[in-house]
Amino acid sequence: MFSIRKATIEDCPLINKLASKIWEPTYGSILSREQLDYMFDMMYAPENLLKQINELHHQFFIIYADGEPSGYLSIETVDRDLYEFQKIYSLPALHGTGIGRYIIEQGIEYLKSIHPEPFTVELNVNRQNPAVGFYKHMGFHEHATRDFHIGDGYYMNDYIMRMDVKNS
């Protein structure tokens, strides 16, 4: 059974701990060790998590499987009717259990609760990531491709995927 709760800044160590268990299994076959380490620090160092919450206003959520912290989601408001799922992750051992569907559905329900009009949800996914098929299955479509320089000569080679949500 899955459950979700809004995260607070006190959850930054928990998000970092979860990410440390998820990051390498998710990207180890796609990215070099150097890029894995660089991106992990860029996104999950405690001071960078605090910046995402306090300055960039990302709303994080912790996902639980049978009462155990098992994943996380972060949502950024990009524009009036556009939100981005910045991070959608669960422990690799739980892939295939419905946790990914749960995370996306709960994220959309949260957005519906704060945004009563139609809106669009966007996410970026590495073009080599097998999750592309899952996101398509969930109703996202490829909107664009992007090769985004993140520093130190590294790029994120992503599909920008979108889902339009009618909120009625």
Dump pLDDT digits (tens) for 31-59.
889 988 999 999 999 999 999 999 999 99
Specify whether the CB–CB gap between 139 and 163 falls below 8 A. Answer: yes
Q: What is the mean pLDDT of the chain?
A: 94
Per-residue pLDDT at 151? 87
Sequence-distant (6+) residues with CB within 8 A of 40 are 19, 20, 23
Strands 82-90 and 119-126: parallel
Answer yes or no: is pLDDT of 163 > 90: yes
**Residues near 32 by beta carbon (within 8 Å), at least 6 away in sequence:** none
In this prediction, residue 57 carries a pLDDT of: 92
Secondary structure letter of residue 5 according to DSSP = E
- This prediction has a pTM of 0.93
For 59, how many CA atoms within 13 A lie in the half-sphere containing its CB? 16
Q: What are the pLDDT digits (tens) for 1-23?
A: 999 999 999 999 999 999 999 99
